[in-house]
């Protein structure tokens, strides 16, 4: 239980420090700089640090700490809930920022700035978490500190299957985010947290269930067992493909690239009433046509023209 208490203290300290950093950045920086860079960097650092510590508990806890799956899943759900409630609207995930770009809700410079902030935030989280492990405050941290320099690949399935697993997880995650994006946080945060927990439990044995290219890059790409290209196929191409398919299925098009709906037919909202056919070109006559339609030598309504007698 000492290891669990140390991890809980780490989670609490991470949330407190990140919340203090958000308030400081919001007070010191302009609104645009905070929303595009600082908020994303802090949110990515918070998510990255918690995920790394949670991953250590999931890998070492069952055999070195006696942790059961029920405890780990409960703790994972709580982490997702607290992160969703405190992230202040940060995406903390490159695929979510690219989704906003495809929806034509973010410009190219703003998207690039968010991607850079997310990468820096996760990189800082990895460095600080490994520094915390080096203090060796519990037995699990001692083991993790010994194993970390010689880490093995988290991909425990063929590359094609791993890309499919990451892509499917990203597809369901983004489809849920699109469906609940206008919902109240009281409904959206628990729904996303439960979905993320289920997907992590399902995909964890195969790919460690990242669904986040920035987090996967800094946490696993240095591990031996697979090449850089194979890692990119699984942890970059898979989630990006799942995100694009989710946007395409939900909207029927990619708003940034296409104006026309590619999947769903659009019905005309203006309908002609039944029993009243639309007037054709021969049903209406101009005054000149009406004059030409009279018989020669006859007036209107069948009367003789004046002076015809």
- So what's the pLDDT on residue 261? 86
Average pLDDT, the chain: 87
Q: Compute the average pLDDT of residues 102-123.
A: 96
- So what's the pLDDT on residue 305? 43
Contact 97, 115 (CB under 8 A): yes
Contact 238, 165 (CB under 8 A): yes
Q: Compute the average pLDDT of residues 112-123.
A: 97
Contact 80, 12 (CB under 8 A): no
- Give the DSSP letter string of 179-208: HHTTS-HHHHHHHHHHHHHHHHHHHHHHH-
- So what's the pLDDT on residue 285? 47
**Is residue 52 predicted with pLDDT exceeding 90?**
yes
**CA gap 34, 26 in Å, rounded:** 6
- So what's the pLDDT on residue 264? 80
- So what's the pLDDT on residue 64? 74
**Is residue 232 predicted with pLDDT exceeding 90?**
yes
The string of pLDDT tens digits covering residues 145-173 is 888 888 889 999 999 999 999 999 999 99
Contact 235, 220 (CB under 8 A): yes
**CA gap 286, 133 in Å, rounded:** 90
**CA gap 10, 50 in Å, rounded:** 8
**Which residue has better confidence, 298 or 232?**
232
The string of pLDDT tens digits covering residues 247-266 is 999 999 999 988 888 888 76
pTM (2 d.p.): 0.83
**Is residue 286 predicted with pLDDT exceeding 70?**
no
Q: 65-69, 178-182, 293-297: lowest mean pLDDT where? A: 293-297
Residue 277: which pLDDT band, with cuts at 50, 70 and 90?
low
- Please give the share of the chain, as a percent, with pLDDT higher than 70: 85
Q: Compute the average pLDDT of residues 48-55.
A: 95
**CA gap 107, 200 in Å, rounded:** 31
Residue 295: which pLDDT band, with cuts at 50, 70 and 90?
very low
**Is residue 79 predicted with pLDDT exceeding 50?**
yes
- Please give the share of the chain, as a percent, with pLDDT higher than 90: 73
95: which residues sit within 8 A by CB, 6+ positions away?
170, 174, 211, 212, 213, 239, 240, 242, 243
Residue 76: which pLDDT band, with cuts at 50, 70 and 90?
very high
Q: Compute the average pLDDT of residues 282-308.
A: 43
Q: How many helices (H) and strands (E) does the chain have?
A: 13, 0
The string of pLDDT tens digits covering residues 17-30 is 999 999 999 999 99
Residue 279: which pLDDT band, with cuts at 50, 70 and 90?
low
**Is residue 129 predicted with pLDDT exceeding 80?**
yes
**CA gap 132, 88 in Å, rounded:** 26
* The two three-digit tokens of residue 285, written as one number: 């006559």
């Amino acid at each position: 239980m000492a290891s669990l208490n140390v991890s809980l203290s780490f989670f609490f300290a991470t949330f407190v420090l990140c919340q203090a950093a958000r308030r400081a950045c919001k007070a010191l920086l302009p609104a645009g700089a905070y929303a595009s860079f600082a908020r994303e960097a802090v949110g990515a650092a918070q998510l990255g640090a918690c995920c790394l510590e949670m991953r250590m508990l999931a890998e070492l806890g069952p055999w070195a700490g006696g942790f059961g799956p029920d405890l780990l899943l409960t703790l994972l759900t709580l982490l997702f809930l607290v992160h969703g409630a405190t992230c202040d609207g940060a995406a903390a995930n490159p695929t979510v920022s690219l989704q906003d770009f495809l929806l034509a809700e973010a410009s190219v410079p703003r998207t690039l700035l968010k991607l850079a902030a997310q990468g820096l935030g996760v990189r800082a989280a990895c460095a600080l978490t490994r520094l915390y492990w080096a203090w060796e405050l519990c037995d699990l941290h001692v083991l993790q500190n010994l194993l970390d320099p010689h880490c093995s690949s988290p991909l425990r399935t063929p590359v094609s299957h791993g890309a499919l697993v990451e892509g499917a997880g990203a597809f369901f995650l983004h489809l849920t985010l699109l469906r609940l994006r206008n919902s109240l946080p009281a409904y959206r945060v628990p729904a996303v947290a439960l979905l993320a927990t289920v997907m992590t439990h399902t995909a964890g044995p195969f790919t460690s269930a990242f669904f986040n290219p920035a987090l996967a890059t800094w946490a696993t790409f240095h591990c031996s067992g697979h090449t850089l290209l194979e890692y990119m196929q699984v942890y970059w191409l898979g989630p990006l493909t799942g995100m694009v398919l989710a946007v395409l299925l939900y909207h029927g098009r990619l708003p940034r690239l296409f104006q026309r709906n590619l999947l769903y037919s659009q019905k005309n909202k203006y309908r002609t009433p039944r029993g009243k056919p639309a007037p054709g070109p021969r049903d209406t006559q101009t005054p000149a046509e009406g004059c030409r339609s009279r018989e020669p030598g006859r007036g209107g309504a069948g009367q003789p023209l004046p002076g015809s007698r």
